[in-house]
Amino acid sequence: MDKKYAVPPYKIKMVEPIHLIGRSEREERLAQAGYNQFALKSEDVFIDLLTDSGTGAMSHFQWGAMMIGDEAYAGSQSFYRLETAVKNITGYAYIMPAHQGRGAEQVVIPQLIKHPGMIFISNMHFDTTRAHVELAGGEAVDVACKECLDTLTYYPFKGNFDLEKLEKVIISRGKDNVAGIILTVTNNAVGGQPVSMENFRSVCEIAKKYQIKTIIDGARYAENSYFIKIREKGYENTSVREIAKEMFGYADIFLMSAKKDGLVNMGGIIAIKDDQDLFRKCQTYIVPMEGFPTYGGMAGRDMDALAVGLDEALDEAYLEYRIDEVRYLGDRLKAAGIPIQFPTGGHAVFVDCGKMCPHIPYDQFPAAAVGNELYIEGGIRSVEIGSMLMGRDPISGKNRQSDMELLRLTIPRRVYTFQHWDYVADSLINVFNRRQTIKGLKFTYESPVLRHFTSRFVPMP
């Protein structure tokens, strides 16, 4: 038999009931939420594809590990177990926990900015990373490769840096004004797309040439490593763990939202290769921000669950199924003619709503409009990654136009089954078939910052 998609290498021991409320109730709840899916109550959602962050299922080994959590304020045994796990994976010398990814960012990023106006360069800054760069007085510059904008054409590593642009920015801004280069793996905003080892290595070589520090924003580093194994020449027979080790070997700092490839519901990691001076600065700074350096905002039991989860996320049978699950949903949508970011990445299927609904202008938020239709159709919650998220230009006050209007169907880890993906695909195909009737959105309340979370809308008449 042809093994088209992998079979899950686990079975289900505990279940959580989910419930589909009626269509008229869904219409009512969405209107009450001001047509903003962040304002829905989760009990009104049947299948929740808002995020893969903190929404995964833990294994019985992780739940077991929680029972031996050591809640000591300082020097917790749970910390030392986590430290050992992170050291084994990264080879880095200095490890601190943080309460989640943005906690790690708020501790480390300000230490790297030596004077106002310094920049960070990334393939693509995640929103909170960008926010911490800006809060610390820096500027965030993105240099993603151009292939990532062409959703319909296959390219194996759409998460890559544009190396030429990277070097141009370093030269034009001056190397002493570059606080660091952030390698976001996988590149979330363009579709959970991987960075190739070749590109990763080249970025780090360029950084070394100009004596700039490299920071891995590695929320999904295990998925990225798996893509290198299956898509990059020369890595077919290398283990995912060794691939990850090679990546860590090139960079200087690892910041992780452990809510993704840590397979836990809350947690973060700071790991520094060998810069003791930087570690000491972070150690001082983490105390008032996150907590004492051996807990950094995490309970002892949660550090134990994470120590186990980090290893489970590198299991290749798990990763094969994980990536196949995303690919399966993408294949079903693509077969129906729905434009998606292709190939699918690691944690989500991104629907190209700019292409699906060209009749909706960018400032009426086509992806959010399609997402709302999908909720009404099937009780499925998703998230807009487009012009709504981009906000307004602070100087002109005009809506910024995103390069792409994407709807992210984000896949929680070890949570749903292929039947759920069939249901999601069938629902979205129904929406696709009536796409011409979908109307854009207009604000009834627009929040001044991070507007996608709290603004309210009505559909255009």
Residues recognised as catalytic: 73, 126-127, 217, 219, 260, 452
Q: Are strands 178-184 and 441-445 parallel, antiparallel or unpaired?
A: unpaired
Minimum Å distance from CB 217 to ligand F0G?
5
Minimum Å distance from CB 200 to ligand F0G?
15
Q: Count Cα neighbours of 364 within 13 Å in the Cβ-side half-sphere.
A: 15
- Alpha-helical segments (H) within 41-194: 60-66, 77-90, 101-112, 127-135, 163-173
Among 151, 184, 193, 341, the residue binding ligand F0G under the rule CB under 6 A is: 184
Do the Cβ atoms of 372 and 353 come closer than 8 Å?
no
* Interface stretch with ligand F0G, choices 38-46, 97-105, 153-161, 314-322 (CB under 6 A): 97-105
Q: How far is CA 351 from CA 131, 151, 366, 406, in A?
A: 26, 9, 11, 5
Q: Which long-range contacts (CB under 8 A, 24 or more apart) does 6-14 make?
A: 6/317, 6/320, 6/321, 6/324, 7/321, 8/321, 8/414, 8/417, 9/315, 9/317, 9/318, 9/321, 10/59, 10/318, 10/414, 13/60
Do the Cβ atoms of 203 and 183 come closer than 8 Å?
yes
Size of residue set near ligand F0G by CB under 6 A: 15
Do the Cβ atoms of 301 and 69 come closer than 8 Å?
yes
- As a dihedral over the C-alpha atoms of residue 204, residue 207, residue 208, residue 214, rounded to 10 degrees, the angle is -60
Among 59, 90, 188, 382, the residue binding ligand F0G under the rule CB under 6 A is: 188
The answer, yes or no, to whether the previous bond of 55 is cis (omega within 30 of 0) is no
Do the Cβ atoms of 178 and 119 come closer than 8 Å?
yes
If one asks whether residue 219 binds ligand F0G (CB under 6 A), the answer comes out as: yes
- Copy the structure tokens of residue 286: 């983490």
Do the Cβ atoms of 8 and 420 come closer than 8 Å?
no
Q: How far is residue 351's CA from residue 181's CA, in Å, rounded to a whole number?
A: 29
Among 36, 37, 53, 344, the residue binding ligand F0G under the rule CB under 6 A is: 53
Q: Scan for tokens 């070997």, then name that residue.
A: 249
Instruction: Indicate the SS3 state at residue 412.
Output: coil
If one asks whether residue 261 binds ligand F0G (CB under 6 A), the answer comes out as: no
Which residue number places its CB atom closest to ligand F0G?
101
Among 70, 217, 290, 302, the residue binding ligand F0G under the rule CB under 6 A is: 217
For residues 192 and 293, which CB has a smaller minimum distance to ligand F0G in the complex? 192
For residues 190 and 438, which CB has a smaller minimum distance to ligand F0G in the complex? 190
Minimum Å distance from CB 408 to ligand F0G?
8
For residues 53 and 294, which CB has a smaller minimum distance to ligand F0G in the complex? 53
Minimum Å distance from CB 384 to ligand F0G?
12
Among 90, 106, 129, 382, the residue binding ligand F0G under the rule CB under 6 A is: 129
If one asks whether residue 51 binds ligand F0G (CB under 6 A), the answer comes out as: yes
Do the Cβ atoms of 374 and 432 come closer than 8 Å?
no
Minimum Å distance from CB 215 to ligand F0G?
11
Q: How far is residue 251's CA from residue 122's CA, in Å, rounded to a whole number?
A: 13
If one asks whether residue 259 binds ligand F0G (CB under 6 A), the answer comes out as: yes
Minimum Å distance from CB 145 to ligand F0G?
17
* Interface stretch with ligand F0G, choices 32-40, 96-104, 163-171, 195-203 (CB under 6 A): 96-104
* Interface stretch with ligand F0G, choices 126-134, 147-155, 308-316, 395-403 (CB under 6 A): 126-134
Among 34, 56, 101, 138, the residue binding ligand F0G under the rule CB under 6 A is: 101
Minimum Å distance from CB 267 to ligand F0G?
8
If one asks whether residue 128 binds ligand F0G (CB under 6 A), the answer comes out as: yes
Minimum Å distance from CB 100 to ligand F0G?
3
For residues 223 and 320, which CB has a smaller minimum distance to ligand F0G in the complex? 223
Among 46, 92, 94, 126, the residue binding ligand F0G under the rule CB under 6 A is: 126
If one asks whether residue 225 binds ligand F0G (CB under 6 A), the answer comes out as: no
Q: How far is CA 116 from CA 110, 113, 176, 177, in A?
A: 11, 7, 12, 9
If one asks whether residue 364 binds ligand F0G (CB under 6 A), the answer comes out as: no
Backbone dihedral region for residue 294 (phi beyond 0: left; psi -120 to 50: alpha; all else: beta) = alpha
List residues binding ligand F0G (CB under 6 A): 51, 53, 100-102, 126, 128-129, 184, 188, 217, 219, 257, 259, 268
